[in-house]
Structure 1
Amino acid sequence: MQLRAYLIMAFIISSVCVIGFSFISLLISDQKIIKFDSWVIQLIQGLESPGLTSMMKTFTFIGSAPFVIILSILLMFFLFKVLHHGIELILFVTAILGSACLNGLLKNIFQRVRPDLHRLIDISGYSFPSGHAMNAFTVYGIITFLLWRHIPTKWGRSILILFSIVMILSIGISRIYLGVHYPSDIIGGYFASGFWLATLIWFFQFYKEKRYNKKYKSEI
């Protein structure tokens, strides 16, 4: 029954993400989201200050590939050496690599040019969906999933969730603030990563439950 609930939840989340991503991509293709993007960009960049710029550059670095690689290596070491979780390690590596491959594929499909309104940093490449948004959602989403069961208290789990949400949103907002992404790039990145994570966790839970049942029956 618990497996069924997990699978239904994962299916619903992945379906919502696919619908959301499709909706955003259609709006972008028909250029019907320009006003929304412009309004949000003006709102966020209207808060510009030297201190906030430094903070946003820090968040954008945290969502960059070099930082994600370092963080991933540390977590891989923790999963394998401390928790001795080989299967979870495979899940983590698959989530990170798969998200990066999916982002590259989607960028080449849509080939959206980056905004050129008020850039605070220089960057090349296509804009949609945001790689930083996908990195943030995937990394902190999978970290939350893997560490959840090891935190015994509700307040500890609440802090974990709150921390992950803050990091995901802050990294996404930093890309808009720095002028290298449209808000729709960030939203699309969240949806794409949400679909990937939900699908991956669906298969992971299914595999673990089947393996547990097989082991239980063999012991009886």
Structure 2
Amino acid sequence: MIPLIQANQQLFILSILVFSLVILLWVLQYWIIQHGKQLFDSVVQYGGTFKQQVGKSNLFIRIKYKYPRFFGFLSKRFQLQHFYGLPLTLLFLAMGYILALFTGLVEDVVTSDSIVTMDYFVSQQMNMLHQPSVVDFFIFITSFGSTAISCLIVILVGVICWIIRQPYILIGLLVSTIGSSIFTFLSKLLFHRVRPADALLLEQSYSFPSGHATIAIALYGFLAYLAIRFSPNFIRQVRIFFTMFLFAVLLGLSRIVLNEHYLSDVLGGFLVGTLWLIVSISLTEWLSARGKIIWQIPGSAMQTYTVSLSIILVLLAALIYAEVYQFPLLA
């Protein structure tokens, strides 16, 4: 057993990492299903208590009467009753935080910080991981981030939106996918980072940030958001979130395993995708607040069949794309 592990050390470590991630996500999912609502109610309760205590302080009262307009604006930013209050505030704070993380990552990559050393080390380890079954699996996974499959998904979502008569949903989807793709394309041109020398697939574009990792969050994250928004069941919402999270991680991991990108490229792609996902969710919720999108729609057999057929079609398309286009690109 030990000689077998030593001979396949990289595969063993990769398997342990993926297995640990699956177990961790399963535990978190179980805990949130059991205690999530209770935790949320407690946070809201403590938040209300904190707001009351702050409102009674002399400093707060003086500010309230000295700057009434500022106080009115600030108090509206923390209201839970509508989207323009606390939800929009949290989205803007998250957007600023993600942008700051991306800026810091760019600085580390440009200045050849310690993360670049980690990039080279991981790339060297992946260069020794050439088991055919592993390569075949991750080529199939990476196909979901291709332009062809992404366009197919957008078209299918457009058909579904037409069937359920919710065309405004497409605005957020297009902003997330097109916006993130343009941002990634311009970033690649700006940083001119060369891909790893031992890439398994032949690619012509630059490396930072990863377009596949970007799409993993921007496109599939938005699909998960839509599925959660349309689902009235809390347990199903939690499972959708964690399933899509695991899929996005695997899609990003496929770029590292196939040596198409460095670790920091994938992290950068995740951050770019998250940034545009927040923008698209904010836009979609704004449209919803204006009555342009209705989430509580009656289900029908036609809708169920269309969604199921679309999922099957995407899976088949990814298989065909991997077989016809990806495998011939093996260097």
TM-score, L = length of structure 1:
0.88
Which residue is equivalent to 1:31? 112
Structure 2 residue 171 is matched with structure 1 residue 90: yes
1:43 is displaced (CA, Å) by 4.8
1:43 to 1:7, Cα distance in 2 relative to 1, 3 A: farther
Number of equivalenced pairs: 209
Q: Which one of 105, 113, 116 corresponds to residue 194 of structure 2?
A: 113
Q: Is the 8 A contact 2:126 2:258 kept in 1?
A: no
Q: Which one of 147, 155, 163 corresponds to residue 65 of structure 1?
A: 147
| Matched residue type, 1:167 | F
Which residue is equivalent to 2:240? 160
* Mapped partners of 1:176, 1:16: distance in 2: 25
Q: What percentage of aligned pairs have identical amino acids?
A: 26
1:22 is displaced (CA, Å) by 0.5
1:153 to 1:47, Cα distance in 2 relative to 1, 3 A: farther
* Mapped partners of 2:214, 2:175: distance in 1: 14
* Mapped partners of 1:24, 1:179: distance in 2: 20
Unpaired runs of at least 5, structure 1? 213-220
TM-score, L = length of structure 2:
0.60
Please, which moves more after superposition, 27-36 or 42-51?
Answer: 42-51
Please, which moves more after superposition, 149-158 or 11-20?
Answer: 149-158
* Mapped partners of 1:42, 1:17: distance in 2: 29
Q: Deviations over 1:102-125 (max 9, x none)?
A: 111111111111111x32211111
Which residue is equivalent to 2:73? none
Q: Is the 8 A contact 1:80 1:89 kept in 2?
A: no
Structure 2 residue 250 is matched with structure 1 residue 170: yes
Q: Is the 8 A contact 2:116 2:264 kept in 1?
A: no
Higher relative contact order (CA 8 A, sep 6+): 1
RMSD: 1.6
1:40 is displaced (CA, Å) by 3.0
Which residue is equivalent to 2:93? 12
| Matched residue type, 1:72 | V
| Matched residue type, 2:134 | L
Q: Deviations over 1:144-195 (max 9, x none)?
A: 1112122122221122112211221111111111111011000001111111
